Amino acid sequence: MESLQDYRDFLKDSVRKQIDFSKTDQHTGIPAPVFEKPYDPSAAVVSLPGMDTIKPELDSVDVADAIMNRESRREFSGRPLSIEELSFLLIATQGVKKIYPGSTTLRTVPSAGARHSFETYLFIFNVAGLDRGLYRYLPLEHALVLESQPEKMGEKMTAAAMYQDFTARGAVTFVWTAVPYRMEWRYSFAAHRVILIDIGHVCQNLYLGCEAVGAGTCAVAAYDQEAVDALIGVDGRDEFTIYLAPVGKVQ
C-alpha cells in the first residue's frame, strides 16, 4: 500500500545511487531526442518579434520591483496582450540563446543537463494580431504554429481546469507539457524529479515577465489530466500536461 513516505522519497535524490549511468541511452550511443516537436509544414506559422524589437519597451522595468511585486493574479482587465508582449513572455520562459550540435540548447531558464523537456501550448483568447485558437511555440524558430481552433474553447478550457474559470478569462493560457524521454535519455530514473524542478524555473520566469509588461498570471497545478491532454491533442504517455497558467493584462 502506498504511503506518504513513498511520495516524500520521490522528492529526494536517493534514486541516483541506484542507477548505472553507463547504461543510459545517452551513454550507449542512442541519438539524443529532438528538442522541439516537428510540425506540419502546411500549418500556419506566425513569426514573432525578437528582443531587439521588444527590449526598448522594457528598459524602465526594474528587476527588484518585478520580484517584490510578483503575486498570483486571477483578475484581468480584458485588454488585449500585444504580440510583442507575448513574444517577450515566450522568450522569458523558453527562449533559445544558443544551439549546440547534438540536440542541446541553452535557454533563458535552467534545465538539468540542458535537456529542456517541455513544449509550450497557448490558448490564445485576446492577443492583438492573432486569431483565437490553440498554438504551439517553436523555440528554435521563435514562432507560433497554429494547432487547432476548438469550438467553445473557453468553456472547454474552464472544464478541463476543474472549473477554475479564471483560466479562460485572460488573454492567453500557457499549457506546458513534459516530453519525459528528453530527460530520461540522459538521467534514466533520476529524470522525473528534475523535470518537476525545471518547470518551476519556467513558471517563475513567466511571473516575473508578466510584471514587466503590466500583466498577471496564476500558476495552476490542479486540473483534469486526461481532459487537458485531450484538449491539446497529446497522448498522455510520451507527452502530457504538467503545468498551466493564464495570463492577462492587469493595467
Among 250, 219, 214, residue whose Cα is nearest residue 85:
214
What pTM, to 2 d.p., does this model score?
0.96
Gyration radius of the chain's alpha carbons: 18
**Bridge partner list, 119:** 177
Is the per-residue pLDDT at 1 higher than 70? no
Start-to-end CA span in the chain (Å): 50
Q: From residue 168, give the alpha-carbon distance in Å to each of 148, 160, 196, 218.
A: 16, 10, 24, 12
Cell of 37: 516537436
Mean pLDDT of all residues belonging to the chain: 95
Among 154, 148, 175, residue whose Cα is nearest residue 44:
148
Q: What pLDDT score was predicted for residue 59? A: 63
Q: Are 35 and 116 in contact (CB under 8 A)?
A: yes
HSE-up of residue 244 (Cα within 13 Å, Cβ side): 27
CATH architecture for residues 46-249? 3-Layer(aba) Sandwich (3.40)
Residue type, 172: V
Among 163, 240, 176, residue whose Cα is nearest residue 204:
176
Among 221, 208, 132, residue whose Cα is nearest residue 172:
132
pLDDT digits (tens, 9 = 90+) for 156-189: 999 999 999 999 999 999 999 999 999 999 999 9
pLDDT digits (tens, 9 = 90+) for 195-212: 999 999 999 999 999 999
